Amino acid sequence: MNLARLPRLRPTTALGGLVFVLFAMWYAASSQNNAAAYLLFFTLSSLFIVSIPHALLNIASLKATTESVKPTFAGDEVSLPVEVTNQSGKPRYGVRVQVPDSGGDEQAVDEIAAGRAARVLIRFPARARGEYEVKRLCLASAFPLGVLRATKRINCHQRFLVYPKPEGDPRLPPDRARSAYNRPRTELGEGDDFAGVRAYELGQSQRQIDWKAVARGHPLMTKQYTTEATGALYLDFAAVPGDDTETRLAQLALWIIEAERARRSYGLRLRGTEIAPSLGQVHFHRCLRALALFK
């Protein structure tokens, strides 16, 4: 057994109670010379001693790996999926998983069968925008008697992003970008007006496939829509009112959300970064990521 890899044991408050009961048993047995009470005292102390290796081994052969975390907005909760694998040949019980110093709850797994894994979702609050890394996970268990808590720290490198908290004026800024383009453009995309059909390409949304045409025996075609060509909206950090960087970033985040919701093409201009106007989930996250990492 590798001693360095052994989990740590910490007493719980219940251990105080147990020690008190043990002392009471010993005192009563010795003052009365009561062999039956002695037997009870030895049974309880032996039970406690035997529970030590059980508590250690319950945690020792567990492995935990993290999976990728979806970005969240500051003030929301981060959900970290963790897979706890039992690498031993015996089932393990009552395991609790926690991200230390994250301010989040423990998640309990009641049983992990031999050689199997269990998945838990650890939630903890996302404080401020930026990129973070979960460096350590903490596995703990008070099984079997609850008087000792075995804890084991597992290193991991799970990065995740926290976007700025969207706050400010929900009205989109006036469309000053239009001057850059002389004529209104028609943009194909996820608009409302039907513009015709085109041959289906792999990766396109299935929702836009012309299923009725497929039913009539035609090849797969996608319907094309256009958005009302109001021109691209440039969200410029420099143009956001206010002095505080965080407030301005919050305002930008809100506008990005509003623009995406209104299906208006938007671009982002930060110090040293420019993202060309577009629409869609990929673009949306690219913009918010830029905000999150802004220095």
Three-state DSSP class for 2? coil
DSSP character at residue 20: H
Rounded to the nearest whole angstrom, what is the least distance from the CB of residue 11 to other proteins in the complex? 13
Comparison of 150 and 259: residue with beta carbon closer to other proteins: 150
d(CA 263, CA 225): 12
How many residues touch other proteins under the rule CB under 8 A: the total is: 59
d(CA 176, CA 191): 22
Comparison of 151 and 245: residue with beta carbon closer to other proteins: 151
d(CA 80, CA 82): 6
From residue 172 to residue 211, the character string flagging contacts with other proteins as x (rule: CB under 8 A) and all else as - is ----------------------------------------
From residue 52 to residue 91, the character string flagging contacts with other proteins as x (rule: CB under 8 A) and all else as - is xxx-xx--xx-------------------------xxxxx
44 makes contact with other proteins (CB under 8 A)? yes
Structure token digits, residue 270: 């930060």
117 makes contact with other proteins (CB under 8 A)? no
Three-state DSSP class for 106? coil
- Of the ranges 35-43, 128-136, 174-182, 252-260, which one interacts with other proteins (CB under 8 A)? 35-43
From residue 128 to residue 167, the character string flagging contacts with other proteins as x (rule: CB under 8 A) and all else as - is -------------xxxxxx--x------------------
Beta pairing class for 72-73 and 8-11 = unpaired
CA distance from start to end of the chain: 48
Rounded to the nearest whole angstrom, what is the least distance from the CB of residue 71 to other proteins in the complex? 23
Comparison of 141 and 265: residue with beta carbon closer to other proteins: 141
Q: Residue 42's closest CA among 56, 30, 55, 57?
A: 30
User: CA angle 113-115-119, nearest 5°?
Assistant: 65
Rounded to the nearest whole angstrom, what is the least distance from the CB of residue 115 to other proteins in the complex? 6
d(CA 60, CA 63): 9
DSSP character at residue 177: G
Among 8, 11, 23, 30, contact with other proteins (rule: CB under 8 A): 30
Helix (H) or strand (E) holding 188: strand 187-189
DSSP character at residue 238: G
Using left for φ > 0, alpha for ψ between -120 and 50, and beta otherwise, residue 101 falls in left
33 makes contact with other proteins (CB under 8 A)? yes
Comparison of 79 and 245: residue with beta carbon closer to other proteins: 79
Among 7, 25, 260, 264, contact with other proteins (rule: CB under 8 A): 25
What is the contact surface with other proteins in residues (CB under 8 A)? 1, 13-14, 17-18, 20-21, 24-25, 27-28, 30-40, 42-47, 49-54, 56-57, 60-61, 87-91, 93-94, 105-106, 108, 110-111, 114-115, 141-146, 149
